[in-house]
Structure 1
């Protein structure tokens, strides 16, 4: 998701992990798969040092083809509201501050407080999960990624170090679980549902798995190392096969301030996570966010949290077997032998791609509530011939006491350092990672990396590598991982480029799209993604304005002669990004998160770029969930 400048700087030491020429790489990769090409011989030859014979062969191998997506594309552009294709409608379902309980107070932006916010829909909604309870009844599970003082509060409340304002921000984060019902083919919120729940930065949680109870997880407030207050930085996530909700803690470093001595035992680990960053001022109001007072508290964030949405009295669990880093998402799938595989990206420039494989298979007749506490976390090493998934297991390779890893708990608490030691491949901001159970493939969103370099002479720039071949990659790309015979638990995989983002009409970008892609169908900065019930892939963006248009949602072909063809479907209001695409099981409704509408680097509560979705001069713009339908109530996309 949206990153601040400090997160643009890679903290991975693998800043110079070997470079390849763009031409050699593209020639090698695309000679094996001739379906995806640039828009013209001149564009491809400018970006690639290939022979004319091979270039022409690639260009003539793929022809413009029809696509199973038949909706009429929307136009590129930028304005203060949202847009959908002809024949579709987008309703605003939930807005920041909307009451989600029967007796919750109405939203009053001039009198916000932690009590009211803990009963209302939170700020900056991101991931959306849908748990179906019946054809016309389900639960939305929605993340709230971060708060923004200058855009949430009027000037009179933007007081630095103000405890009341900070507590309101803490309450605005976490997650919302809200029952929705379909009435007359339209979904609506059920405010009096006993299943509705707000989980915030103060909600008690358990710590489970290999790091639970470890000395590095203990704090003055929790000498057991097994209980923690809250979940923060909740970005993307996933819904498990057994119907629980995984929420991913991403940019947790900004919540921690104070100073930590360089000789402290956690100094290297904290530095690798960017702690303490102090961009928020929370440490002035709550000692647990002050590393000078509670140096271990930061180790208790940066995990995957599992929540049972069907039990509002259940205690969320931080599953430490899935590692600690800046988690973007946690999409799961079953391997052929029944084991659960969870794919995760570490969303920082230069960091890594992971997958967790459970030790035991999922048994639908007797589900193990702690299945995710036991298994193996792997990190990806890409080369031109495939992907090696390297086990992050204590005692194997360099993950020993001699290198500072005294137990599996150490490996999980310091996952980034352990992955460094194994020689994982630095990536261009791996965000959402979506397994496709229908074709045995996995789609990896790589949003961008302006710090990627052709040279090895800049210490803060990461060298190009096989899977990230473009220097100054401000547009991002999408990689398709091919798991052998659909075995998602495999430790050796193949991979291909699906698209390289950016304008295909400008040879300088080195973009790669199917020639059937229109002027509206290409995009930049892929972020979240989803597979619809028909097997189609959808891509949401965060950073497309670098391409001259606002962020939105695109359908993207993955098969046959149409492979690599984009089609524009949804356009966000100016300043917003689009997150969390999620379809109902019947494919007749699509939920989208519209995050931070009306914001840029200079906006405030008083001066937004738009006042979407209310367009009320007395109200600020409000991050919201929209639900999209076809006018004829048929399946979306066709």
Structure 2
């Protein structure tokens, strides 16, 4: 749970979470002795809700903590990727490299190897490419941009006390414009057999050894790549994060283009997927058990109806997948603001949004109980959520021009302050619980800035080298 040091005025925020979500408490994180992430302290923590922290060229971390940069724009995802050449980008080269934008989607723990080295498989989305910041002349190169976007699945391993990129890891690959997919569910026959491309995957989650990607409607790519974006784009895509030879599946039973997605396994063993649309919150419950390879091929969709502290899930018609936003509106769902975030924390669904704070929904049956977790003023630019091993909430707070975005601890203090123009790109805990992964998105990309005149040159700070989005880890020590 995230709060200020002063008491909350909302009694539900003060007491309801402790009662409703096991493992959460009102004290913030305790200093841990077993490597579990513990809340850091930063002297300049005050005033985030009233104005934020002034923008800076580099990054700051809390005292006693360190920041490790794991992968940057242009770093190799595939072992044979050529060296980064930002002044002369090539579609073949960038399709094997870490993309320009970066947003952490999910962290998976692979089976432990015989050498005993802790490892992680991490999925990072590259939702878009801004030509002004990505190319020296500011002119778009649509084929190169299409190859640069997508999703990187990379291997990390722990060496000593630090997580590092594992070169040539078995699971490492890039999913994007050239990725072969297939479709299943009610629209499978309409979409045909082989499908080329994953575009605009700006949201996703991991559960039950599945990576779920939420493709956007890809309207930006429709204009940049005439004729290439079809009805086969804009779905929830299921990927096996551990097996590169498996073909990604576009699961049409879940409808099109959610702006956020989260999933969990129900007490009955079904796979439950939550889908955030601006017209409301939807829930998909699989017809088959979560252990089935095709659990997401069929199921039931329902809409969240809020009534005070309760949510009832109203079943939607069998054809709701065809236009899920319209079906949600017709069912009386409560609209969600743009930028809504979803996360599963201690078996509860947490719904957050800029300017609205965060609430928790516990229960996956016909009625869920709503608990206020985070007041709107605590993180006015709330953009990312994750829970730690103690079931407490870490958040990303994006700031406006002139201020720095931050990653905030459960007690409302900044753990990481980002460089100028950067945004928080997702949050996730390392498998050992000792580090928090996040992405520093689009540093230097303030209004009016460009490739040659960015607001910062983080992380390299080399003359002529553009700023680079990066996957990072923050950890004590």
Mark yes or no: TM-score above 0.5. yes
Per-residue CA deviations over 1:471-519 (Å, capped at 9, x if unaligned) read: xxxx332122232xxxx2x1222223323323xxxxxxxxxxxxxxxxx
State which of 217, 225, 243 in structure 2 corresponds to 1:282. 225
The structure in which a higher percent of residues are strand is 2
2:29 aligned residue: 68
Give me the whole-angstrom Cα distance separating, in 2, the residues matched to 1:442 and 1:115: 40
2:312 aligned residue: 388
2:20 aligned residue: none
Partner SS, residue 263 of structure 2? strand
Distance 1:369 1:622, change over 3 A: same
Partner SS, residue 188 of structure 2? coil
Structure showing greater Rg: 1
Partner SS, residue 169 of structure 1? helix
Whether 2:389 is the aligned partner of 1:533: answer yes
State which of 150, 156, 166 in structure 1 corresponds to 2:132. 150
1:177 aligned residue: 153
Give me the whole-angstrom Cα distance separating, in 2, the residues matched to 1:352 and 1:341: 17
State which of 555, 576, 585 in structure 1 corresponds to 2:409. 555
Partner SS, residue 128 of structure 2? coil
Per-residue CA deviations over 1:241-270 (Å, capped at 9, x if unaligned) read: 1x121112135222223xxxxxxxxxxxxx
1:515 aligned residue: none
Q: Contact 1:501–1:525 (CA<8 Å) still a contact in 2? A: no
1:292 aligned residue: none
Give me the whole-angstrom Cα distance separating, in 2, the residues matched to 1:425 and 1:625: 34
- Matches of residues 64-103 of structure 1 in structure 2 within 5 Å? 66-69=27-30, 70-73=39-42, 75=44, 76-103=53-80
Distance 1:97 1:208, change over 3 A: same
Partner SS, residue 256 of structure 1? helix
Q: Contact 1:90–1:628 (CA<8 Å) still a contact in 2? A: yes
CA drift of 1:541 comes to 2.3
Partner SS, residue 288 of structure 1? coil
Give me the whole-angstrom Cα distance separating, in 2, the residues matched to 1:379 and 1:234: 23
Give me the whole-angstrom Cα distance separating, in 1, the residues matched to 2:412 and 2:323: 39
2:373 aligned residue: 498
Give me the whole-angstrom Cα distance separating, in 1, the residues matched to 2:155 and 2:373: 36
State which of 573, 576, 580 in structure 1 corresponds to 2:426. 580
Partner SS, residue 61 of structure 2? coil
CA drift of 1:236 comes to 2.4
- Matches of residues 428-507 of structure 1 in structure 2 within 5 Å? 428-429=337-338, 431-436=340-345, 438=346, 440-447=347-354, 475-483=355-363, 488=364, 490-502=365-377
CA drift of 1:577 comes to 0.6
Partner SS, residue 545 of structure 1? coil
2:179 aligned residue: 203
Q: Contact 1:541–1:579 (CA<8 Å) still a contact in 2? A: no
Q: Contact 1:428–1:446 (CA<8 Å) still a contact in 2? A: yes
- Matches of residues 94-493 of structure 1 in structure 2 within 5 Å? 94-133=71-110, 134=112, 136-155=118-137, 158-159=138-139, 165-214=141-190, 217=191, 224=192, 226-241=193-208, 243-250=209-216, 252-257=218-223, 281-283=224-226, 287-289=227-229, 297=230, 299-329=231-261, 331-346=262-277, 350-362=278-290, 367-394=291-318, 408=319, 411-429=320-338, 431-436=340-345, 438=346, 440-447=347-354, 475-483=355-363, 488=364, 490-493=365-368
Q: Contact 1:343–1:434 (CA<8 Å) still a contact in 2? A: no
Q: Contact 2:12–2:372 (CA<8 Å) still a contact in 1? A: no
Give me the whole-angstrom Cα distance separating, in 2, the residues matched to 1:603 and 1:413: 40
Structure 2 segments unaligned to the other structure (5+ residues)? 1-8, 17-25, 31-38, 45-52
2:415 aligned residue: 569
Give me the whole-angstrom Cα distance separating, in 2, the residues matched to 1:122 and 1:433: 24
Give me the whole-angstrom Cα distance separating, in 2, the residues matched to 1:428 and 1:445: 10
Q: Contact 2:132–2:450 (CA<8 Å) still a contact in 1? A: yes
CA drift of 1:98 comes to 0.6
CA drift of 1:524 comes to 1.4
CA drift of 1:430 comes to 5.6
CA drift of 1:178 comes to 1.3
Per-residue CA deviations over 1:435-484 (Å, capped at 9, x if unaligned) read: 22x3x43210112xxxxxxxxxxxxxxxxxxxxxxxxxxx332122232x
CA drift of 1:235 comes to 1.7
CA drift of 1:36 comes to 7.5
State which of 598, 611, 614 in structure 1 corresponds to 2:457. 611
The structure in which a higher percent of residues are helix is 1
Per-residue CA deviations over 1:527-549 (Å, capped at 9, x if unaligned) read: 2111112222111123x227x73
Q: Contact 1:94–1:625 (CA<8 Å) still a contact in 2? A: yes
Per-residue CA deviations over 1:252-308 (Å, capped at 9, x if unaligned) read: 222223xxxxxxxxxxxxxxxxxxxxxxx332xxx224xxxxxxx1x3222211111
Say what the alpha-carbon RMSD is for the aligned residues. 2.3
Give me the whole-angstrom Cα distance separating, in 2, the residues matched to 1:184 and 1:628: 15
Partner SS, residue 60 of structure 2? coil
Equivalent residues, number: 440
Give me the whole-angstrom Cα distance separating, in 1, the residues matched to 2:11 and 2:55: 39
